[in-house]
Amino acid sequence: MTNRHSRQSFLGKTSEATIQNTAVAVIGLCGGGSHVSQQLAHIGVGKLVLIDCDFAEDSNRNRMVGLTYAEAQTKARKVDVIATRVSSVSPETEIVKHDGPWNHALDDLKNVDFIFGCVDTMGARDDIERFARRYGIAYIDIGMDVHGEEGRYFISGQVIASLPGQPCMRCMGFITDAALAAENARYGAAGGHPQVVWPNGVLASTAIGIFMALRTPWNDQIPPPIFIEYDGNRCTTAPSPKLKYLAAGVCRHMDGTDGAGDVA
Q: Please give the backbone phi and psi of residue 69, each rounded to the nearest 5 degrees, phi first.
A: -60, -45
C-alpha–C-alpha distance, residues 144 and 229, integer Å: 10
Exposed, middle or buried, 74 (CB in 10 Å: 0-12/13-18/19+)? exposed
For residue range 193-222, what is the model confidence (pLDDT) as tens digits?
678 899 999 999 999 999 999 999 888 888
C-alpha–C-alpha distance, residues 215 and 211, integer Å: 6
Confidence of residue 190 (pLDDT cuts 50, 70, 90): very low
* Side-chain-facing half-sphere of 179: CA atoms under 13 Å: 12
For residue range 220-252, what is the model confidence (pLDDT) as tens digits?
888 899 999 999 999 999 999 988 888 666 787
Query: What does the domain layout of the chain look like in residue ranges?
Result: 3-245
C-alpha–C-alpha distance, residues 246 and 53, integer Å: 36
pTM for this one? 0.92
For residue range 142-186, what is the model confidence (pLDDT) as tens digits?
999 888 877 788 999 999 999 998 999 999 999 998 888 887 766
Percent pLDDT > 90 in the chain is 69
**Rounded (10°) CA dihedral 83, 86, 87, 89:** 160
CA 225 to chain centre: 15
C-alpha–C-alpha distance, residues 179 and 199, integer Å: 22
Assign domain 3-245 one CATH number from 3.50.50.60, 3.40.50.720, 1.20.140.10, 3.40.50.2000: 3.40.50.720
Q: Under DSSP, is residue 141 helix (H, G, I), strand (E, B) or coil? A: strand
